[in-house]
Amino acid sequence: MEDFEALLARIMALGAGRRLIAVAGPPAAGKSHLAARLVAALPDAALVPMDGFHLDNQILDASGLRAVKGAPETFDAAGFLALIGRIKAGGAVVYPEFDRDLDLAIAGRGQVRAETRLVVVEGNYLCSTRRLGAGWPIFGI
């Protein structure tokens, strides 16, 4: 996998300090597989999937959005952006993870350690510039 090795080399050359690497793309494009492979191959790396910011089914039902679960408006975009800000700032950061078997996000299930330098963030909308509601960006990190 020459391309994968080249990607690893580019990431390793990013320099000192905490760095975030975004893996974005449509559903079933292989984002989770690539992100997990990167974390396994990189020293001192953590994986933070945006799936932990799915809105709960009760909220989706109340707002009539359950049928489109997974669409941009069915995520807590503001919460996710706040998490990204905390990760960028450094230090230990706790975040929610999505449990597919239970079909719900579980608060505090994941953690980026204070000494972690590379954080691979994975999700469908990480590069989106779409705006919702009061005008905040979705995931244009």
Q: Which two tokens stand for residue 138?
A: 């979705």
Q: Which tens digits make up the pLDDT trace of 24-56?
A: 888 889 999 999 999 999 998 999 999 999 999
Q: What is the pTM of this model?
A: 0.88
Residue 135 pLDDT exceeds 60? no
Please name each of the domains of the chain with its CATH number. 2-137 (3.40.50.300)
Q: Which tens digits make up the pLDDT trace of 74-95?
A: 999 889 989 999 999 999 999 9
Helix%, strand%, coil% for the chain, nearest 5: 35, 30, 35
Bridge partners (DSSP) listed for residue 118:
19, 45
Q: Which residue has the tokens 């980026």?
A: 112
Amino acid letter at 35? A
For residue 99, the SS3 value is strand
Determine the Cα–Cα distance for residues 50 and 98; give it in Å rounded to an integer. Answer: 9
